[in-house]
Amino acid sequence: MRRTLWALTAALPLIVHPLPLAGQQFGQQTGFVVENPVLRRMWALGMDSSQADRFGQVLLDSLGPRLTATPGMDAAQNWLVQTYERMGVTVRKERYGTWRGWRRGRSHIDLMQPRSRTLEGTMLAWSPGTGGRPVRAPVIALPEVADSNAFAAWLPQARGKFVMISFPQPTCRPDSSWIAHDTRAIVERMRTERETARNAWTERVRRTGYAGGLSGANLSRRLDAAGVAGVITSTWSNGWGVNKVFGTTNERAPAVDISCEDYGLLFRLAANNQAPVIEVTADAQALGEVPVFNVIAELRGSELPNEYIVLSAHFDSWDSGSGATDNGTGSIVMLEAMRILRAAYPSPRRTIVVGHWSGEEQGLVGSRAFVADHPEVVSGLQALFNQDNGTGRIVNVSAAGLVNATSNLARWLGNLPVDLTGGIRFGFTGSPAGGGSDNASFICHGAPAFGLGSQGYDYGAYTWHTNRDTYDKVSFGDIRMNATLTAMLTYMASEDPARVPRDRRDVFGRGQGGQAGRWPTCVNPPRSYAESLNPPR
């Protein structure tokens, strides 16, 4: 068995990266010959007459971010439906539940004392507004208390004030800059002092009894109930001028995120008793529980209509940027791939479905609901291809823990042009997704759901969930290649005479806590925001 596995593993680079052949060129970079007219047509559609750039400009600039249950998401989904209809693709908005609706308006934050300065910041998603008027109030930092009882005794002092609840970064200069310009001793001292201060802040929050939640949601909610003027957060992303901006559960007081630099300014002023005062104007409207939808597009199979290829990407985003690389890029890849398929492969052997999911950022809610509502797709799934980690060229594919799916994937990739597959690292056998993106909603059932991992492009520091996730960060050259590759993979999976086997690996490494690894457990999604706050036990 070991010899067989070694031989197959050793052969994979040749399977995934086919050697160039002499003759008529298929692409610009190689002489790889593809005689299949469908693949040749897909190449021409995807690489020579791509619509990805046009789709991206409308989606990211004109429509913008797509926070779940907001008018922005509704407008973008309607555009998506209209775009598929113009292609001649069957499409629908499929309701999966309700969520808290919210409309973002303008926000403006100014330092008023001890000097005047306009601060860089914005409301957190779902924040209450300021009721059409500016709110001016002193700024204080979360105090050091002995325990939750002491915190409760302190709370009356916070009434009518803005309270800072995030760790104040001692430097907003990325570590790479320190390393490039200073001595090792100074860099190490900076890091040690910063880690000591961060640990002390974590302990400060823990002693309040309200630690936990994105952007300190538990603590923020308690301060909201205590009558504060507002809550100030800052989640630095470790890059120049970049913050990760999430949401709040506040119901009365606005919650704002302020840049690393300006948050540090406010904190130092407060810590040195220099009496900072800010003025916040925030326009926002709570819309109550509103219906939420996935957008589902479909090309019905001509021979095996009850077997499925699913193209998967979440359409929702956080809304401090434009939702460009998370996950406008994946959404554009799947939209463009379906355009290519509709033109080059209009009568597929198996049914092709595109799932543009909502509610991914709230816990894969949309895709998990689809799985629960469509067991026939899960049982009939031949392959799912999910893309959700930025703008770069696809460079990682694995069998997702399905030990005998390797041969199918390697065969599909091995029949595609090296222009598209030459940089792909193929993971044998890989591991199932545990919950980071929507392929996890399917693979937990053992259905063949594969992630298409892309190059980094500083994704974690600069665009993932940040205020800088905008159109200009997209590499449309990579998007064209990714869409063409996805269309071709879909064609190969649809035409494959063999079903993808579902045999699961049963050997895993240990988790971070030292516990034995195992196949991920499926999760029942909440069908409303209220249910998400009180999930069934």
Tokens coding 198:
């961060």
Tokens coding 411:
């065969």
Q: What pLDDT sits at residue 29?
A: 42
- Least confident piece of the model among 148-152, 339-343, 512-516: 512-516
pTM of this prediction? 0.92
What pLDDT band is residue 374 in, cutting at 50, 70 and 90? Answer: very high
Q: Would the pLDDT of 329 be above 70? A: yes
Percent over 70 (pLDDT), the chain: 93
Q: Would the pLDDT of 211 be above 80? A: yes
Count CB neighbours of 206 within 10 A. Answer: 13
Report yes or no: 24 and 30 within 8 Å, Cβ to Cβ. Answer: no
The mean pLDDT of 459-464, rounded to a whole number, is: 95
Please state the length of the chain. Answer: 537
Phi then psi for residue 158, to 5 deg, are: -85, -15
Place of tokens 């046009």: 54
Q: What pLDDT sits at residue 27?
A: 47
The mean pLDDT of 21-41, rounded to a whole number, is: 59
pLDDT digits (tens, 9 = 90+) for 44-101: 999 999 999 999 999 999 999 999 999 999 999 999 999 999 999 999 999 999 999 9
Q: Would the pLDDT of 234 be above 60? A: yes
pLDDT digits (tens, 9 = 90+) for 484-529: 999 999 999 999 999 999 999 988 887 777 777 899 999 999 999 9
Q: Would the pLDDT of 193 be above 70? A: yes
Report yes or no: 344 and 95 within 8 Å, Cβ to Cβ. Answer: no
- Least confident piece of the model among 4-8, 151-155, 180-184, 448-452: 4-8
| Helices of type H across 169-228 | 175-181, 184-208, 217-225
DSSP code for 244: B
51 φψ region: left (φ > 0), alpha (ψ -120 to 50), beta (else): alpha
Q: Give the integer Cα–Cα distance in Å for 438 and 354.
A: 12
Report yes or no: 252 and 92 within 8 Å, Cβ to Cβ. Answer: no
The mean pLDDT of 281-308, rounded to a whole number, is: 98
Q: Which residues contact 169 (CB under 8 A, 6 or more apart)?
A: 194, 234, 236, 260, 263, 264
What pLDDT band is residue 537 in, cutting at 50, 70 and 90? Answer: low
DSSP code for 504: B
Q: Would the pLDDT of 349 be above 70? A: yes
Q: What is the mean pLDDT of the chain?
A: 92
The mean pLDDT of 235-248, rounded to a whole number, is: 97
The mean pLDDT of 153-162, rounded to a whole number, is: 98
Q: What pLDDT sits at residue 286?
A: 97
Q: What pLDDT sits at residue 534?
A: 80
Tokens coding 90:
């069957």
Q: Which residues contact 354 (CB under 8 A, 6 or more apart)?
A: 296, 297, 298, 310, 311, 312, 334, 335, 337, 338
Q: What pLDDT sits at residue 215?
A: 78
Q: Give the integer Cα–Cα distance in Å for 442 and 429.
A: 17
In CATH, what number does 36-100+290-506+520-526 get? 3.40.630.10
Report yes or no: 99 and 529 within 8 Å, Cβ to Cβ. Answer: yes
Count CB neighbours of 308 within 10 A. Answer: 25
Q: Give the integer Cα–Cα distance in Å for 221 and 279.
A: 21
How many Cα neighbours within 13 Å face the side chain of 292?
Answer: 33
Report yes or no: 338 and 354 within 8 Å, Cβ to Cβ. Answer: yes
Q: What pLDDT sits at residue 34?
A: 61
DSSP code for 276: -
Residue type, 154: W
Report yes or no: 72 and 40 within 8 Å, Cβ to Cβ. Answer: no
Tokens coding 309:
């290829």
In Å, the largest CA–CA distance within the chain is 81
CA distances from 364 to 268, 292, 361, 523, 525 (A): 39, 13, 6, 9, 8
Show me where the domains of the chain are located: 36-100+290-506+520-526, 115-275
Q: Would the pLDDT of 5 be above 60? A: no
The mean pLDDT of 17-46, rounded to a whole number, is: 62
Q: What pLDDT sits at residue 15?
A: 37
The mean pLDDT of 331-340, rounded to a whole number, is: 98
Q: Which residues contact 375 (CB under 8 A, 6 or more apart)?
A: none
The mean pLDDT of 465-494, rounded to a whole number, is: 98
Q: What pLDDT sits at residue 212?
A: 84
**Terminal-to-terminal C-alpha distance of the chain:** 44
Burial 35-74 (b: 16+ CB within 10 A, else e): eeebbbebbebbbeebbbeebbeebbeebbbbbbbbebbb
Q: Which architecture does CATH list for 115-275?
A: 3-Layer(bba) Sandwich (3.50)
